Amino acid sequence: IRQERRESIKEVGDLKGLDALRVELLGKKGPITQALRGMKDLPAEERPQFGQFANHVRDELQSAIEAKRDELKQAVLNKRLQEEKIDVTLPGKPVAQGQPHVIQQIVDQIEDLFIGMGYQVLSGPEVEEDKYNFEMMNLPKDHPARDMQDTFYITKEILMRTQTSPMQARTLEKHDFSQGPLKMISPGVVYRRDTDDPTHSHQFHQVEGIVIDKHITMADLKGTLQLVAHELFGDRFDIRLRPSYFPFTEPSVEADITCFNCGGKGCAVCKYTGWIEVLGAGMVHPNVLKIAGVDPEVYGGFAFGLGPDRFAMLKYGVDDIRNFYLNDVRFLTQFSKKG
């Protein structure tokens, strides 16, 4: 019987079965307990020997069960280790890495250029007062040129800025000329009530620039804009100025850059002129200085407003401005710096 029991312990396949067998063999109703209970019917001289033997068998079975339990536990553990094995030498899943938006890349480049020339970079509110967006820019309430910029009004006096030019007024108002000239650029988002199409977006970017000091001339403006063109597009791209009109500059110009498609020879993209318009600029209007408390008899300078969206479209041949605002990663990852 002892031998048989030991065999049955060996054959058990899992921990649950082993536990059942333990109860069966060593439990209250098991053979050992029964045998010990029946001991009282034996002659007194046989009892010690019988008891000893029964205890011995019980201990033996107990340790056999324990050994088997260890064996089964180890088997379970081995199985898990096998199943959950990780091969640390396999290549990992690539983690998607972000990058600056293509427009931001252009803005960063412009900022670096101007910081290198000692300009401050300032940002202003997108929800702006009529006073800064228009009035202090020499555009009083009834000025017809307000129609040039379809405006999202929030209240009569508060609007979504239509240009970054209000930052001219905000910085002029504060600048202390005894500390030196004012040299500032202000990049940011502007808004106009345009119907979105391939060349219009109700939200787009501008980088405003302004320099005010004594003895600033239009040649300084042209030289500065030329540097921007060279920096962003390369030395073979040139700038030309055409007379234009803005209420806050006099004289005003629009600046064209050498046409990308034809390298200046003329093609459909530039309407056979060899040039593409990229920004507005001019010498800051005396009224703008006066309204901000700066004496136009002493100080003067230039201002410009350029459009990074336009620059990005030209630089990368993007034919629909809306792509910049759809956040489609398939479009955006094309401008990854890693290539």
Six-digit token string for 183: 């040299």
User: Taking CB positions, which residue lies at the least distance from ligand PHE?
Assistant: 305
Distance of closest approach, residue 210 Cβ to ligand PHE, in angstroms: 8
> In the range 274-293, which residues lie near ligand PHE by CB under 6 A?
280-282
Scanning 60-68, 89-97, 300-308, 316-324 for contacts with ligand PHE by CB under 6 A, the matching segment is 300-308
Per CB under 6 A, 305 contacts ligand PHE: yes
Which residue among 138, 224, 249, 323 contacts ligand PHE (CB under 6 A)?
Answer: 249
What is the smallest separation between the CB atom of 231 and ligand PHE, expressed in angstroms? 19
By the rule CB under 6 A, 308 interacts with ligand PHE: no
163 touches ligand PHE by CB under 6 A: yes
Q: Counting contacts by CB under 6 A, is residue 165 touching ligand PHE?
A: yes
As measured in angstroms, the least distance from the Cβ of 149 to ligand PHE is 7
The verdict on whether residue 250 carries a ligand-binding annotation is: yes
Q: Taking CB under 6 A as the rule, does residue 258 contact ligand PHE?
A: no
Interacting stretch for ligand PHE, rule CB under 6 A, among 17-25, 43-51, 223-231, 297-305?
A: 297-305
Is residue 303 involved in binding ligand PHE (CB under 6 A)? yes
Per CB under 6 A, the list member of 246, 260, 275, 299 interacting with ligand PHE is 246
CB of 243 to ligand PHE, least distance (A): 13
Check if the beta carbon of residue 192 is closer than 8 Å to that of residue 151.
yes
Residues interacting with ligand PHE, by CB under 6 A?
Answer: 163, 165, 208, 246, 249, 280-282, 303-305
